[in-house]
Amino acid sequence: MKATSGVEDPQVRRARGPARVPQKGQDTQIGVARPVRTLELVEPTVTIPAPDPLREITLGGCACVQIWVEGGVSSQGVVSSRRRGRGTMKVVGLEWRRVRVPLRKVVKHASHARAESENLIVSARLDSGAVGHGEGIPRPYVTGETLETAFEMLRGWDLDRQLGAPSSFEEAVDRLANLETPARAADPRGAFGNAARCALEMALLEAFARGFDRSIGEALVRMAPPEAGLRLNPTTVRYSGAITAEGVWAERIAAWKMRLYGFHQVKVKVGVVGQNDPERLRRFRRILGKTCDLRIDANEAWDVSQVEERAQALVPFGPTALEQPVPHAQVEVLAQLRPRLGIPVMLDESLCGWGDAVKAVELGLTDLFNVRLSKCGGIGPSLALIGLAKRSGLGVQLGCHPGETGLLSAAGRQVATRIADLRYLEGSYDRHVLAANPIRQDITFGYGGRAEPLEGPGWGVDLDSETLERMTLDRESW
C-alpha cells in the first residue's frame, strides 16, 4: 500500500539520504584478551599465539581481544586502524541459533500461555574481527513466523548484494536501514520475516559499530526520521509493570508488588475466558490507587460484536488505553467503533509493518502504536513507525515480547533512552521473568521501573558463551 495524505514510505526518505549526526570522538577502546587458539590481525596481517588470560596485547598500534571462539561467541572485537575510517569491512561469518528461554512462571494472556520461549539469536563476524549479536522472537500468531522459517530465511539472505563492503560507519548504517528480507515481496503486510530481520540487523549493527569504533546511538539517530525525535545523549527512563491473567490471590499479590515497587504505570491483561474483568479492574484500582496509570490489553480476545459492551464496562476504572481489542481480521471495524469505546485504542497485533501503520493512520483505526522491535522488523523499521506515529499525532508505546532475553532488552533500552515523549515503555523484566539469561550483566529495571542508559560498546551487554551454549537447541552457520 502506498502512503498518502502526507505519510511517506521510509524507502523514499532513505533515497533522499539520512540526516547528518555529530561524530564521536576518536578515542580508542582497549579490550581485555581472553584465551583463544589464535588471534588474527587484519592490519598488519599477523597471526600470534593465544595470550594468557587477562593479558592485553598491543602490536603495531592495534589492540587485540577475543574475536571468535570455537563452539562459543564473544562480544569483543579487534581495535585496528580500520576503526579510524580507512579500508572497508565485510561480513565473513554468520551463525544463528534456536535458543530455549525458560521462564520463572507461566505468562498467560488471551491469545497464549507459555512457560518458556524459543528465540532466535544471530551472531555476525566481520573480516576485521569485530563481532555483533542480535535477537528475534518469531511468533506464528503475530507475524506468521516460526524458528524454522527464520532459519530458512537466514540461509538465503544475500548479504554480499545488500551490504557489500562498507568503507565507513555511515555507509554501513545506510545499507542496514535498507536491509530487505527475502520473503517480503510476497507478503502483503510486510511482516513475515520481521523477527529474523530484527536479529540479523541487530547483529550487523553491533558488529559495524564495534568495527568502526562508533556508538549505537549514532546509528539510531542516523536511521530515525526527524519526527521520531531521537537524541544522541541518552537519559533515564521508567518502565511499566504488568499483571498477567492468574488466579485471584496471585493477582492480588502481583498488584501489591506493583504498588510497593513504585510503578507509575501498570498494564493488565483482560479478555481471558472465565475471568470477570470489571471485578478484576475494581480490585486492581483499589490496590494500586487513583493516581496509577492503568491500561488494559485484550490481545484480540473480543469479537467485534462484544467489544463496545466489554470496553464500556471497564471505563469506570479509568484505563488510559485499550490494546488490540479485536482480532486483526476485524481491525477495520475500529474506524467506526473507536470513537464510541470511551478508551483510547492501541494497535499491537495489527501493527507489524509499514503497510499496517499507514492503513491505521488513513482509516483512523487507533490512537496509539505499540512498536516492538522484533515484531516490527528491527531498529530501522521500528524508528520509521515511531516517526509516522508522531507525525500523525498518535501516541507510542515501545513494547516487548514475553520471554525476550537481555540482548533484546538491551536494544530496547538503547532506543528508549533516546526517544522523548514515549507514552508507555515495556521491557527489561529480565530478572523477574527469566529463569536463564545469556548475558553477563543484569540490566533489570530498578525501583519504580527506573533504568539508566547502558554504557560500553555495542548494545552495552556481553553474551555469556557458556550459558548460551546450555540454552542452544540448534544452530547453523556459514
Instruction: Tell me, yes or no, whether 149 lies in a domain.
Output: no
pLDDT digits (tens, 9 = 90+) for 66-111: 333 333 344 444 344 344 445 799 999 999 999 999 999 887 665 6
What cell was used for 424?
A: 508507555
Instruction: Tell me, yes or no, whether 201 lies in a domain.
Output: no
d(CA 219, CA 25): 15
Distance set, CA 348 to CA 143, 264, 299, 371, 399 (Å): 11, 22, 8, 7, 9
Work out the mean pLDDT of the chain and round it to a whole number: 84
- Please report, as a single letter, which amino acid is at residue 337: L
> Whose grid coordinates read 503497510?
355
Sign of CA dihedral 188, 190, 194, 197: positive
CATH number for position 319 = 3.20.20.120
Domain count, the chain: 1
SS3 content of the chain, % helix, strand, coil (to 5): 35, 20, 45
Mean pLDDT value of segment 3-21: 46
Beta strands in 57-169 (DSSP E): 57-59, 62-64, 91-108, 113-126, 131-136
pTM over cut 0.85: no
Q: What percent of the chain has pLDDT over 90?
A: 74
- Please report, as a single letter, which amino acid is at residue 123: S
State residue 245's pLDDT score: 81
State residue 39's pLDDT score: 28
Is the pLDDT score of 254 beyond 70? yes
Q: What range does the domain containing 329 cover?
A: 226-470
pLDDT digits (tens, 9 = 90+) for 195-253: 999 999 999 999 999 999 999 999 999 999 999 999 889 999 999 999 988 889 999 99
Is the pLDDT score of 334 beyond 80? yes
State residue 105's pLDDT score: 86
State residue 10's pLDDT score: 56
Would you call 40 helix, strand, or coil by DSSP? Answer: strand
Instruction: Tell me, yes or no, whether 369 lies in a domain.
Output: yes
Mean pLDDT value of segment 36-50: 33
Exposed (0-12), middle (13-18) or buried (19+): which is 22, by Cβ within 10 Å?
Answer: exposed
Is the pLDDT score of 455 beyond 70? yes
Buried b (16+ CB within 10 A) or exposed e, 223-242: bbbebbebeeebeebbbbbb
d(CA 408, CA 460): 11
State residue 44's pLDDT score: 34
Q: Per DSSP, what are the bridge partners of residue 108? A: 113
State residue 350's pLDDT score: 97
**407 touches 439 (CB < 8 A):** yes
Instruction: Tell me, yes or no, whether 140 lies in a domain.
Output: no
State residue 108's pLDDT score: 67
Mean pLDDT value of segment 339-358: 96
Sign of CA dihedral 465, 469, 470, 474: positive
Q: Which of 290, 250, 249 is nearest to 266 (CA)?
A: 290
Which of residues 4 and 430 earns the better pLDDT score? 430
pLDDT digits (tens, 9 = 90+) for 260-271: 999 999 999 999
d(CA 322, CA 3): 26
Instruction: Tell me, yes or no, whether 191 lies in a domain.
Output: no
State residue 463's pLDDT score: 95
d(CA 384, CA 239): 22
End-to-end CA distance of the chain: 35
What cell was used for 179?
A: 536491509
pLDDT digits (tens, 9 = 90+) for 384-417: 999 999 999 999 999 999 899 999 999 999 999 9
Residue 461's contacts (CB-CB under 8 Å, 6 or more residues apart) are 75, 406, 407, 410, 439, 440, 441, 443, 454
Torsions phi, psi for 66 (to 5 deg): -60, 135
Instruction: Tell me, yes or no, whether 64 lies in a domain.
Output: no
The model's confidence at residue 19, banded by pLDDT at 50, 70 and 90, is: very low
Instruction: Tell me, yes or no, whether 270 lies in a domain.
Output: yes
Instruction: Tell me, yes or no, whether 170 lies in a domain.
Output: no
